Amino acid sequence: MLQLLMMILDDVQKLRPLLDAWEKAGVPGVTILESTGMHRTQGWLARDDLPFVPTLRNLLQVEGINQRTLFALLDDEETLERAVQVACEVIGDFAEPNTGLLFVLPVSRALGLKKRLPPPEEKPAWLSLPETVASITRNTPVTEVEKLSALLPVIVHETDSLRTVAEVALSNPLVRVVCVVDKDERLVGLISLQAVLNDIYLRISPEEFLSDTTDLAQVAEFATRSRVARACDAMQGPVWVKRHETVREVFKKLRDSELEGLPIVDDELHVIGYINITELLAVWLRAEIGRGR
C-alpha cells in the first residue's frame, strides 16, 4: 500500500543529517517546502510595526522561515519503518519542543511514482581508444595508427560491373572509398561512393542531369558518364599511403585528393589495409585529450 511520509521540521540545522539518513534508509525521493506554523503567523499579523498591507510572503521574509515540510511517497513497508526509525534517531523525542511533527498518511492512488530510466548514454567510440593514442603525433607512422583501426579495405576488380561495385561497397558502408585492382591484385584506381552515386543517378534520371548542362564541357562529361559500365570506367587515379609514411602525409593526401579514405599498400601496390578520415580524426582528437589539451 502506498504511504505518504510527512514531517514538519522545526530545527533546520537537522535537515542535512535527516536527508542523509533517509537516503541511506532507501527513501527514494524527498520534496522539501518552506513553511511556518499558524501560531507564529498569527503573532506576526498582530504586530503594529509591520508594513500596512504586505503580502504574506514578504511578511514571512521579514522574520525568516526556520521550518521545513518534507514528504516522500513510499510503497514499501520496510523502507517506511526504517525511515521513521532513523528520523527519530536524528531528531530525538518528538514530544520535546522545537522538534517537529512526523506522521504517515495512506494514499489510494498515485501517478508518476515509478519513472522509466532514460537509455544509457553511449560513449563515443573514439573515447574508447586506448591511452597509448596520446603518444601519436603528426610524425607517427601509419603502421601505428593502423593498429587502432577496425576497418578493412573494400576491393573490386577493374572489370567488375557498376552493380558489383555498389554491392561490394554496401558490404562495409563505413569504408567510403572502393579500391580497384587489376588481375595481379595491384591497385590501379579508386572509386568514391559519391562517384558511384553520381553514375547511378545518371542512369536513373538522365534528364535531370541534362537539365543542368550549360556548356560543352558538361556535355562531354555526360557522354563519358553515360558509358560507365565497369569499375575501370568510374575510377579515378590511384592514391595510396604506405606503412612507413606519417600521419602528416596521410592528412595531406586526403586533403589533396578530397577522398574520405585511402588504401594502405605494400611495395608492389597490393592493398593491405585502409585508413579512414573519421578514424584518423578520432585518433587525433583522442590524442589531444590524452595530452590534456
Task: List residues bridging with 74 in a β-sheet.
Answer: 3
Give the pLDDT band of residue 29 (cuts 50, 70, 90).
confident
pTM flag (> 0.85): no
pLDDT for residue 260 is more than 80: yes
What confidence score (pLDDT) does residue 52 get? 45
Nearest CA to 37 out of 103, 107, 99 is that of 99
Please give the pLDDT value at position 139.
79
Report d(CA 254, CA 26) in Å as an integer: 57
**Domain assignments of the chain as residue spans, ordered by start:** 2-107, 126-193+230-290
Alpha carbons 264 and 241: distance in angstroms, whole number? 5
Task: Decide if pLDDT at 136 tops 80.
Answer: no
DSSP string, 189-204: EEEEHHHHHHHHHHHH
C-alpha dist (Å) from residue 71 to 22, 29, 79, 191, 262: 11, 9, 14, 66, 63
Residue 157 bridge partners (DSSP)? 181
How does pLDDT run across 62-84, given as a tens digit for each residue? 444 568 899 999 988 999 999 99
151 backbone dihedrals φ, ψ, rounded to 5° = -95, 140
Query: What mean pLDDT is reported for the chain?
Result: 80
Fold of 2-107: Alpha-Beta Plaits (3.30.70)
277: pLDDT confidence band, cut at 50, 70 and 90? confident
pLDDT of residue 53: 44
Q: Residue 283: is its pLDDT beyond 60?
A: yes
Domain 126-193+230-290 has CATH 3.40.190.10: no
d(CA 156, CA 169): 9
| Percent of all residues in the chain with a pLDDT value above 70, rounded to a whole number | 70
Contact 254, 248 (CB under 8 A): no
Name 134's Cβ contacts closer than 8 Å, sequence gap at least 6.
286, 287, 289, 290, 291
Does residue 135 have a pLDDT over 60?
A: no
Torsion, CA 47, CA 52, CA 53, CA 56, rounded to 10: -30
